Structure 1
Amino acid sequence: MSAEATNPAVSPAPAPPPAHRRKGRPRIDLRRLGRAALLGPTTRDRLPDAISHVVEAHRAHHPDADLEPLRRAYVLAESSHRGQMRKSGEPYITHPLAVTLILAELGAETTTLTASLLHDTVEDTDVTLDQVREEFGAEVCFIVDGVTKLEKVDYGAAAEPETFRKMLVATGNDVRVMSIKLADRLHNMRTLGVMRPEKQERIAKVTRDVLIPLAERLGVQALKTELEDLVFAILHPEEYAHTRGLIADNAAQESDPLAEIADEVRGVLREAGIQAEVLIRPRHFVSLHRVSRKRGRLRGTDFGRILVLVGEDADCYAVLGELHTCLTPVVSEFKDFIAVPKFNLYQSLHTAVARGDGQVAEVLIRTHQMHKAAEAGVVALGNPYAAPAEEQPDGRRADGEGERVDPTRP
């Protein structure tokens, strides 16, 4: 592993309050994983208890996935890391388990999860690449080798283009390697707390200058936003504490204007016969800090945005039409990232509606598939080089091995 990850501590860095957590992304219980890991390998016909949480998250996205590679990868990783401990006294295997869970929750396919379980074995244990290739195949071996090479990249040049060029060369341009690196850094940032302050600051700066821009480029917003908040807490503790206080004060208010507007939006769409899921998305700490610096005194609608999820692209524009007809739109806030997606595959309609008291609520409108791509980015795309076996919706087929026919592939 890199110098930043060789001594991960276990006391968490200052973290967002529970209300900020995304649904479906629970924190890892390291003590429970540690006890399960200490039990060691299990019988061939039974999955180890330690990876049950990974399996549950994986099957939520891939119900028919073959779990045997995960079982074998865990058995190899647990046996090879046995005796290695984190500073907490927990077995080291809890780290690759936590990294793999992060990726499983984002919808990564089985090959990525298998490589994630093994991502430290070649560098930190006696396991060789030849063993990985023989046991799990060339694809898993290629990803593990890429992660191992990526750990050797010198991040001293911060976010200069040369650093990113070295990263791309090290990974063989396989986004799955970079996905594992991002999840690895997220878990190490979550458990950074008992390191010396100067080391925390150094790791946080590298994360800010290199890994967060990478997460943005790959469209993995779920990882990017949490990394931003963890870096914010370390590098700007006073601003972080102030922002946390703003969130706590807002949560204590009796009325919630965002909830009221969300109810109004549900009513408008129900009357129009449009099936949609309307949610409130709290802003993460860095986003709220930026808004407070821009607008000064915050109002209730500044603490989050309304998210409308629908089934088809056409429904997005139908929702937009109803909201602009029945509510008061703020025309200057409208952006169409469906017709013109962002560079990192992000697609959504952005608009805003105003209440009678002058409060303005931002509204994001997208399909469920767009939302998955917005949260997980390239992590949810599987193998970007695999040629599709079936005909594309427009009738085209892949000509040649590994051609990227799907325009959403990176």
Structure 2
Amino acid sequence: MSAEATNEGAPGRRRGRARLDLRRLGRAALAGPASRGRLPDAIDHVAKVHRSHHPGADLDILRRAYLLAESSHRGQKRKSGEPYITHPLAVTLILAELGAETTTLTASLLHDTVEDTEVTLDQVREQFGEEVGFLVDGVTKLEKVDYGAAAEPETFRKMLVATGNDVRVMSIKLADRLHNMRTLGVMRPEKQVRIAKVTRDVLIPLAERLGVQALKTELEDLVFAILHPEEYARTRELVLAHPTGTAPLHATAERVRAVLHEADIAAEVLVRPRHFVSVHRVRLKRGEPTGSDLGRLLVLVAEDADCYAVLGELHTCLTPFVSEFKDFIAVPKFNLYQSLHTAVAGPGGEPAQVLIRTHQMHKVAEAGVIALGNPYAAPETPDAADGERVDPTRPGWLSRLLEWQRATPDPDTFWTSLRDELAQDREITVFRADGGTIGLPAGSSCVDAAYAQHGDGAHSCIGARVNGRLATLGTVLRDGDTLQLLMARDTTSGPSPNWLEHARTPAARIAIGRWLSAHQGDRAPDPVAPPAPADRRPCPPPRELAPPVRRPLVVTAEGRDLAAASVRLAGCCTPVPPDEVTGFAVRGRAMTVHRSQCSAVGRMVTSGRQPVEVRWSCPEGGGRDYRVTLFAESFSRPHLLADLTEAIAAEGAAVVSAAVEPPHEQRVRHTYTLQLSDASQLPDLMRAMRRVPGVYEVARAGRTVAGAPS
């Protein structure tokens, strides 16, 4: 082995092994099938790798699948000149190394037969069963459309449709693309670039979301080399020419082993070289990388509790960089990834990144959903059978994609939305107030969270509480926020057009757009212009109103009864029994009466006006007509005005006038002047208004405001 191959690290070793395996498979394929009943030499290596993950696997179905694939592809050549059978063999070996179960490997061997040979899907089903037939059919559908720019939307729509039923279809497609990318050098440069861009924009993000890091990282390096050859060459030379390589990490690894041995914690400590794209990102972020930047330490233990024990020892015995700590065990990533991340100081004080996980976590981190096997198999443990079985190959983000792809008939809109969804390079976790979590792209708002949690049911969302505080639906959520969505009981309500300004996820934007398109003809009236009652003309905004003719007031001043006095109830606070009231003399014997808590009272006293003692002759206010002004603050939503006026009418109050201010940040302020036959109705009326969905505050006019005299 050359010095260059020795120093190139994990990516180079993987590609070197792949070339050796491919040559071995090619020679075995040229040798022809084995004698009856014996495992053919061409799949002997595949079988050994498969048995290392699944010791009891039935190899006979693999033997039969290989024989059918070899005979049907016989005489076909790849562009490189190699027998075509080397391609399905190489794809199957990639999946076997990731721990795929037998059914997936069987379908992988046969994945091109229905498309490129005379073998029919019915033959596959008859010989290998419905499940294998379904997987082969799913992969076949993805191969029927060229990867040209015009065909991309429909190609990946079909991909998602097939994936929706069984994500193993996508696993085979990703392995297929990886082998094609490894051998892309035989293509014309322009075709290499085109395929590399599609891989970058769609397949690499899909691999990330399926958790298949082993495929994702190699695909990234292959795409990097094609689309950015100069940067790739510079990064490769930097790694190969680094004077100490990952030596500082090996020294830190020895210290970690000693610490864990002293603590009697059984652990495997490995140095994991970074792949080229990862090194390139480090260089862009931190400048020229050091030896510690060229890799990371991986600590593997047996149990979850051991992970935290390792973390405690490292933070106690070595110098930790606390800002680098992340707990993806307690809160796994959206793609099933679990691990503890931290960093400790190496011999030279440089931070060494450390990943701590169990062996099972590591298997899932590398192979993602491929490591989880057949989602339709019976649970392996009695405990798993007791609860509802959750399909691990249908992560939440994939379910969202499937929902909106079915709702988006236009391929171009679908393609744009798909690329937007997959372009999100970071997700946040939002905790629901009722338990559970919601995974969203960074920068998502409460609108996005509503559609992620409720689907089309989010149309009736009217507000939110973020970390216990009222927030508008446009509020941008942060990682770790606690969210409570406020839903209207009236499920006929729907989103307003300005929701689109706050929706970042395709699921939310498409659902909102679909609802608005379907309801263009029956949109609710503009909330800033409330509809007039059917039996009267529009009322003017609230103003100072004349009181009822019968005044239940006794006015006294300097010991004299002034009950013959002309009294006006102040329009700024509209007092009603049993409010405490204060009067102020105006011209002549006229009197204006305010609630004692009205901010105007403090201002007039401060200015030197003399208050007059006033009391109600009928403190409970029974049998009289009174007017009162109320403010209602709410989240903006269709039909809110109608719901509020209905609640007011149900309490026996009449609307004298109403005004609605223009919405601000999705909040609306309503002002109602109401006529009550009995002032004792007021508390019940205010409670009824607060119960209207979307209303979060109802208050009397004249309440004390900040900075006003008390």
TM-score, normalised relative to structure 2? 0.52
Structure 1 residue aligned with 2:330: 339
Tell whether the 8 Å contact from 2:318 to 2:344 is kept in structure 1 after alignment: yes
* Aligned equivalents of 1:409, 1:255: Cα separation in 2: 38
Alignment of 1:313 onto 2:304: yes
How far does residue 160 in structure 1 lie from its aligned partner after superposition?
Answer: 9.4
Which one is further off, 328-337 or 26-35? 26-35
Task: Label 1:241 to 1:122 Cα distance change in 2 as closer, same or farther (>3 A).
Answer: same
How far does residue 357 in structure 1 lie from its aligned partner after superposition?
Answer: 3.1
Tell whether the 8 Å contact from 2:210 to 2:369 is kept in structure 1 after alignment: yes
Cα deviation, 1:285-330, whole Å, max 9, x if unaligned, reads: 1011000000012111000000000000000000000000000000
Alignment of 1:267 onto 2:258: yes
Alignment of 1:374 onto 2:365: yes
* Aligned equivalents of 1:16, 1:164: Cα separation in 2: 39
* Aligned equivalents of 1:78, 1:119: Cα separation in 2: 12
Structure 2 residue aligned with 1:245: 237
Alignment of 1:96 onto 2:88: yes
Alignment of 1:325 onto 2:316: yes
Cα deviation, 1:192-240, whole Å, max 9, x if unaligned, reads: 1121111110010010011101100100000000000000000000000
Task: Label 1:385 to 1:159 Cα distance change in 2 as closer, same or farther (>3 A).
Answer: farther
Structure 2 residue aligned with 1:52: 44
Tell whether the 8 Å contact from 2:251 to 2:347 is kept in structure 1 after alignment: no
How far does residue 253 in structure 1 lie from its aligned partner after superposition?
Answer: 2.4
Task: Label 1:229 to 1:255 Cα distance change in 2 as closer, same or farther (>3 A).
Answer: closer
Amino acid at match of 2:98: L
Tell whether the 8 Å contact from 1:333 to 1:352 is kept in structure 2 after alignment: yes
How far does residue 354 in structure 1 lie from its aligned partner after superposition?
Answer: 1.5
DSSP 3-state at the match of 1:351: strand
Tell whether the 8 Å contact from 2:267 to 2:299 is kept in structure 1 after alignment: yes
* Aligned equivalents of 1:160, 1:71: Cα separation in 2: 35
Task: Label 1:158 to 1:210 Cα distance change in 2 as closer, same or farther (>3 A).
Answer: farther
Q: What pairs up with 1:1-400 in 2 under 5 angstroms? A: 18-21=8-11, 26-29=17-20, 30-152=22-144, 164-250=156-242, 252-253=243-244, 256-355=247-346, 357-388=348-379, 390-392=381-383, 396-397=385-386
Structure 2 residue aligned with 1:5: none
Tell whether the 8 Å contact from 2:79 to 2:186 is kept in structure 1 after alignment: no
How far does residue 358 in structure 1 lie from its aligned partner after superposition?
Answer: 3.0
Query: What residue ranges of structure 1 are gaps of 5+ in the alignment?
Result: 1-14
Work out the percentage of aligned pairs sharing the same amino acid.
Answer: 78
* Aligned equivalents of 1:255, 1:208: Cα separation in 2: 28
* Aligned equivalents of 1:107, 1:80: Cα separation in 2: 27
Amino acid at match of 2:90: A
Tell whether the 8 Å contact from 1:149 to 1:171 is kept in structure 2 after alignment: no
How far does residue 336 in structure 1 lie from its aligned partner after superposition?
Answer: 0.1
How far does residue 164 in structure 1 lie from its aligned partner after superposition?
Answer: 5.0
Structure 2 residue aligned with 1:10: none
Please, what is the CA RMSD of the aligned residues? 2.4
Tell whether the 8 Å contact from 2:279 to 2:294 is kept in structure 1 after alignment: yes
Amino acid at match of 1:202: R
Amino acid at match of 1:117: L
How far does residue 183 in structure 1 lie from its aligned partner after superposition?
Answer: 0.3
* Aligned equivalents of 2:60, 2:278: Cα separation in 1: 41
TM-score, normalised relative to structure 1? 0.89
Tell whether the 8 Å contact from 2:8 to 2:239 is kept in structure 1 after alignment: no
Tell whether the 8 Å contact from 1:171 to 1:177 is kept in structure 2 after alignment: yes
- Identify the structure with the greater strand proportion: 2
Amino acid at match of 2:170: M
* Aligned equivalents of 1:23, 1:194: Cα separation in 2: 22
Tell whether the 8 Å contact from 1:200 to 1:234 is kept in structure 2 after alignment: yes
Amino acid at match of 2:23: R
Amino acid at match of 2:200: R
Task: Label 1:39 to 1:79 Cα distance change in 2 as closer, same or farther (>3 A).
Answer: same
* Aligned equivalents of 1:173, 1:158: Cα separation in 2: 26
DSSP 3-state at the match of 1:279: strand
Tell whether the 8 Å contact from 2:304 to 2:357 is kept in structure 1 after alignment: yes
Tell whether the 8 Å contact from 1:159 to 1:210 is kept in structure 2 after alignment: no
Query: What residue ranges of structure 2 are gaps of 5+ in the alignment?
Result: 396-710
Which one is further off, 20-29 or 275-284? 20-29
Task: Label 1:379 to 1:408 Cα distance change in 2 as closer, same or farther (>3 A).
Answer: closer
How far does residue 353 in structure 1 lie from its aligned partner after superposition?
Answer: 0.6
How far does residue 254 in structure 1 lie from its aligned partner after superposition?
Answer: 7.9
Which one is further off, 265-274 or 143-152? 143-152
Tell whether the 8 Å contact from 1:158 to 1:209 is kept in structure 2 after alignment: no
Which one is further off, 322-331 or 294-303? 294-303
